[in-house]
C-alpha cells in the first residue's frame, strides 16, 4: 500500500513538473511572439510608399537626429535658391521671396526690404536681368544649438550683353520649429547675414 502511495505521489510530482515546464515554455513562446509582432509593426510603420512619375517608391522613416545635417543643408540650399533665383517678373520675384521668407526670421525680411528700398528688384525688371544661384557648399555645426551655418555660393546676373558672376557668402543659425507645407524640414534661419557679395567675373555675350 505504501508503494502504491509513493508511486501516486511520484506520478503527481512528474505531472506537476511537466505542467510547469509546459507553462514556462508557453510564456516564453508568447513573449517571443509578442516581441516579433511588435518589431514587425514598427518596421511596417517606418515604411512609406511614394508615388512619383507613375512609379511606387519605398522609403523608410527615421529619427530626426539621423538626418539632421542632411535636412539642415537642404533647408539652407532651398532658402538661398528661393531668395536669390529671380527673373525680370514681379510675380516671380514676389513668389520666390515669399517662399524664402517662410524659412527664415525677420533678418531675411530686413535684407529683402533693404534691397527693395534700394530699387534692386525694380532694376532687375526694367533691365531684364535674370539672377541665378548655385550653392557650392554649406557647412553646419550641430554640436551646439541653435546650429551655426555658413553658405558659399555663386550668383550669375544674366543681362542682354553680359553675364556677371558674383561670390556670395552668408551665415546664420538654425533652430527647430514645427514642420508644415511651407517649411517641410522644420527649421528656421535666424540672424541671417550676407558676409560677402562681390563681382568676380564678367563675360560678354
pLDDT, one tens digit per residue, over 90-133 is 999 999 999 999 999 999 999 999 999 999 999 999 999 999 99
Q: What is the structure's pLDDT at 8?
A: 67
Q: What is the structure's pLDDT at 99?
A: 96
pTM over cut 0.95: no
Q: What is the structure's pLDDT at 22?
A: 80
User: Smallest Cα–Cα separation from 190: which of 85, 51, 92, 75?
Assistant: 75
User: Smallest Cα–Cα separation from 191: which of 167, 174, 166?
Assistant: 174
Q: CB count, 10 Å around CB of 74?
A: 15
What's the CATH class of domain 65-204?
Answer: alpha beta
Domain ranges of the chain: 2-48, 65-204
Q: What is the structure's pLDDT at 81?
A: 97
Residue whose grid cell is 557647412: 139
Q: What is the structure's pLDDT at 13?
A: 76
- The Cα–Cα gap between 102 and 78 comes to 11
State how far Cα 84 lies from the chain centre.
Answer: 20
Q: What is the mean pLDDT of each run of 10 residues along the chain (205 residues)?
A: 57 76 84 78 60 58 69 96 95 95 96 95 94 96 94 95 96 95 94 95 91
Amino acid at each position: 500500500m505504501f508503494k502504491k502511495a509513493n508511486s501516486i505521489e511520484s506520478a503527481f510530482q512528474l505531472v506537476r513538473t511537466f505542467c510547469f515546464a509546459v507553462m514556462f515554455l508557453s510564456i516564453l513562446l508568447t513573449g517571443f511572439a509578442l516581441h516579433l509582432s511588435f518589431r514587425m509593426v514598427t518596421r511596417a510603420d517606418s515604411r512609406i510608399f511614394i508615388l512619383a512619375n507613375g512609379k511606387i517608391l519605398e522609403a523608410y522613416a527615421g529619427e530626426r537626429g539621423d538626418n539632421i545635417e542632411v535636412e539642415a543643408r537642404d533647408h539652407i540650399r532651398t532658402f538661398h535658391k528661393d531668395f536669390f533665383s529671380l527673373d525680370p517678373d514681379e510675380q516671380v520675384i514676389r513668389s520666390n521671396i515669399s517662399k524664402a521668407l517662410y524659412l527664415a526670421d525677420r533678418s531675411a525680411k530686413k535684407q529683402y526690404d533693404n534691397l527693395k528700398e534700394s530699387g534692386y528688384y525694380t532694376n532687375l525688371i526694367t533691365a531684364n536681368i535674370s539672377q541665378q544661384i548655385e550653392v557650392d557648399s554649406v557647412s553646419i555645426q550641430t554640436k551646439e544649438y541653435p546650429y551655426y551655418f555658413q553658405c558659399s555660393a555663386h550668383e550669375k546676373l544674366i543681362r542682354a550683353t553680359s553675364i556677371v558672376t558674383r561670390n556670395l557668402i552668408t551665415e546664420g543659425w538654425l533652430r527647430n520649429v514645427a514642420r508644415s507645407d511651407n517649411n517641410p524640414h522644420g527649421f528656421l534661419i535666424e540672424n541671417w547675414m550676407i558676409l560677402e557679395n562681390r563681382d568676380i567675373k564678367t563675360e560678354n555675350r
